[in-house]
Amino acid sequence: MRIVRRSSFTATRWKNGGGITHEAIRVPDGADPPRWRLSVAEIAASGPFSDFTGYARRMVLLGGAGVRLRFATGGEILLKRVGDLAEFDGAVPAECELLCGPCTDLNLMTANSIAAVDAQVARLYRPLDLLRRTGETLVLFCVAGAVAIEQCTSAPAKPSAPATLEQWDLAVQDGAAAACTVRSVAGGQEEAAVFIAKFKDI
């Protein structure tokens, strides 16, 4: 399992001056365009999103009072609570309206050639067991709190020493099938949330 710490993200200012993107990972490394990319964006001003034709986007609110996304197709998505998730086509023109000041969000972009992306935000009131099949990529991003990941290669093998993700840290796992358990480090005393995505990166 690869751990990517928040402190290692690479920051790039938007050309339109509306925000800053902190790139956590792109696959393949250094590729332009990538097959998939995960980043954290600081949105400083309302305005249009960039055109990402050829990509599906997942966006999660990480901080701030929220955003309203309006699409050229007539649809609208409101993100107001940390952990709220939106999924949309990067080719559809979108306008982002800040509800009350700057916001921060998580962005996962996957090429349209990557089918069947399963994405969710889980609030860890109890331990969560995850199974990753051979050939799948598992992405875990700590949205809030701190989480521990206990890996187990196959039942009834004993889990390895847990890896800990602090807020906005990232873990990526691929290769042979494996199981893991994700839990709140605080043991349910304070809310922890994790963004989870699984897909076949072929």
Whether the predicted pLDDT of 152 surpasses 90: no
* The CATH number of domain 2-111 is 2.60.120.10: yes
Where residue 158 falls among pLDDT bands split at 50, 70, 90?
low
Whether the predicted pLDDT of 186 surpasses 90: no
User: Does 118-200 match 2-111 at the fold level?
Assistant: yes
Convert the pLDDT of each residue in 41-99 to its tens digit: 999 999 998 899 999 999 999 999 999 999 999 999 999 999 999 999 999 999 999 99
Ramachandran sector of residue 35 (left: φ over 0; alpha: ψ -120 to 50; beta: rest): alpha
> Cα angle vertex 61, ends 56, 65, to 5°?
140
Q: Where are the domains of the chain?
A: 2-111, 118-200
DSSP string of 97-154, one letter each residue: EESSS-EEEEEEEEETTS---EEEEEE-SS-EEEEE-TTEEEEEEEEES-EEEEEESS
Cα–Cα distance measured from residue 47 to residue 82, given in angstroms and rounded to the nearest whole number: 21
Query: What DSSP character marks residue 40?
Result: E
- Please state which of the four CATH numbers 2.60.120.200, 2.60.120.10, 3.40.50.720, 1.10.238.10 is assigned to the domain occupying 118-200: 2.60.120.10
Query: What DSSP character marks residue 8?
Result: G
